[in-house]
Amino acid sequence: MAARTAAKASARERLLEAADELFYSEGIQTVGIDRVIEHAGVAKASLYNTFKSKEGLVCAYLEHRFARRRDRVARAMTRFRTPREQVLGVFDALGETFTDPQYNGCAFARATSEAPENSAIRKVAEDYRVWIRDLFAGLLTASGCADPDTLARQFLLLYDGAAQSASLDHDPSAATTARAAASVLLDAAPLKTPTP
Amino acid sequence: MAARTAAKASARERLLEAADELFYSEGIQTVGIDRVIEHAGVAKASLYNTFKSKEGLVCAYLEHRFARRRDRVARAMTRFRTPREQVLGVFDALGETFTDPQYNGCAFARATSEAPENSAIRKVAEDYRVWIRDLFAGLLTASGCADPDTLARQFLLLYDGAAQSASLDHDPSAATTARAAASVLLDAAPLKTPTP
DNA sequence: GCTAGAGTAGACAGGTCTGTCGAATAGGCG
DNA sequence: CGCCTATTCGACAGACCTGTCTACTCTAGC
């Protein structure tokens, strides 16, 4: 464990990093096992000892992305005080990822569109969707929205749309576009009246 | 040409229909040529005589979808009078497609995520993006918006997000959610002041 | 009836894919 | 030192992929 430096990460870590780069940039079906192990500098047997199949590696890759996204959002949340600032801050956290020239759209949406109907891959993607939706709903409830669920669904559309537009239209400013729209919707939404 | 009835469509038509069903529901890389020709009831040589390669078939499949989408939107537009009703009507046209139980997200976005960097496939998808963006911008300009481009970008986010949410969350009501948000944004947007 | 064009069936070539296996090797720890 | 676990290399099986090719069949129009 805990290598002395970054000189030599474990086979598992190198595989995850290679999978992250290749699967995300080129797609899952397009990238074969051989390219992953070559990019990771790891033997094929190591892959199949660590993960039981290609699907297992793909799931680990997605879970890794999921954890990173949660961390990034959690860190962004600490920068804001009020729930209103926080819910708009989610779009800022999204916008950070758009500035990466490697940005290529939502990894979970892309993986889902390549995965068969009832695969473990889709399960991970669904967990992600539940998380992001609950995140919006929670923050909007805390903001005192009268109808947080409806607004959360609208925010989710802006969130997904921004990711897609940033990638397909090569337009990193989609995050601020989405944020501006969310701000208008939030201002227009009725507040919950305090219980009498 | 023009078969007496629908008894026997041409090889080209049957190939396009099979490609539409299989590529859209399962993905492009996942579905091999053999399955397409089997589903179409057509010989392999017919495919390669009609389209020069698998990529050619994929492009034809996407162009066919593109044409259908334009027709559907054009038909929806005739049902409305004012530009304001028309621009919201785009979301209604989108919602019609969500009711199809086979609905599986935006075909162009999914194809792009599977296609290599500079393929003809991505070119078709880009044409589609330009069309839909111009559609919104044109209708919003006609509505007298002071800043139609910004609003068009926001509407595009809602449009893309609705397609994604309808598919990933199995929620056909995403179209009405998007429409409601668009309506709020439209009401909040300043109008262009008539030239003095 | 005959011919030309379109379609069909199916084998084949040449790759690539995932996953397995045997045997050699390296490194940590007693 | 010797043991043990993890790792490496490379070959291999078996399936599947795209695209080509030959030889056969059907049908419409002259």
Q: What does the pLDDT look like over A131-162, one tens digit per residue?
A: 999 999 999 999 999 999 999 999 999 999 99
Say if CB A110 and CB B113 are below 8 A apart.
yes
Residue of chain A whose Cα is closest to the Cα of B27: A114
Number of separate helices (H) and strands (E) present in chain B:
9, 0
| Model confidence band, residue B196 (pLDDT cutoffs 50, 70, 90) | low
Does A123 touch chain B if contact means CB atoms closer than 8 Å? no
Q: How far is the CA of B15 from the C1' of D18 (A)?
A: 17
Give residue-wise pLDDT tens across range A26-69: 999 999 999 999 999 999 999 999 999 999 999 999 999 999 99
Q: So what's the pLDDT on residue A8?
A: 59
CA angle B162, B63, B87 (to 5 degrees): 40
Chain A residue with CA closest to B110: the answer is A113
In this complex, the nucleotide whose C1' atom is nearest to the CA atom of residue B55 is D18
Q: What is the least distance, in Å, from the CA of A11 to any CA of chain B?
A: 28
pLDDT of residue A11: 85
> Which position has the token pair 């003095």?
B196
Nearest to B138 by CA among B92, B83, B99: B83
- State the best of A132, A164, A183 to mutate against chain B, taking most chain B CBs within 10 Å: A164
Give the pTM.
0.91
Average pLDDT, whole number, for chain B? 93
CB contact under 8 A, B162 and A164: no
> Minimal CA–CA distance to A15: which of A68, A56, A73?
A56
Q: Which of A8, A65, A64, A1 is nearest to A41 (CA)?
A: A8
Query: Which of B114, B126, B181 shows the shortest C-beta gap to A114?
Result: B114
Q: Which of A127, A132, A168, A177 to mutate to test the interface with B (most CBs of B within 10 A)?
A: A168
User: pLDDT tens digits, residue range A86-141?
Assistant: 999 999 999 999 999 999 999 999 999 999 988 999 999 999 999 999 999 999 99
Inter-chain CB proximity A178 and B162 less than 8 Å: no
Nearest CA-CA partner of A154 in B154, B122, B81? B154
Partners of residue B191 on adjacent β-strands = B145
